[in-house]
Amino acid sequence: MNEQPSSLRTELELITEAEACRLLKVCRRQLYSWRMAGLIPYFKIGKAVRFRLTDVVEALERMRIG
């Protein structure tokens, strides 16, 4: 059996742009702007853009005011 621990699986989980938009409740253009501004780290795999779920959550926390 070669199962990864749950925390490692969560750390490595990648989501698509559409999934990130749904999670953040923003349009694709807004997500692109944040990406280009360096606010949300991302991976470029060929032509596909992917986000690490934990990075998206951390980026959202950094944007919190108050």
Grade residue 12 by pLDDT with cuts at 50, 70 and 90: confident
Q: Is the pLDDT of residue 30 over 60?
A: yes
Closest by Cα among 18, 25, 29, 27 to 51: 18
pLDDT at 60 over 70: yes
Question: Model-level pTM?
Answer: 0.78
Which of the 8 DSSP states describes residue 15? E
In DSSP terms, which residues pair with 55 in a beta bridge? none
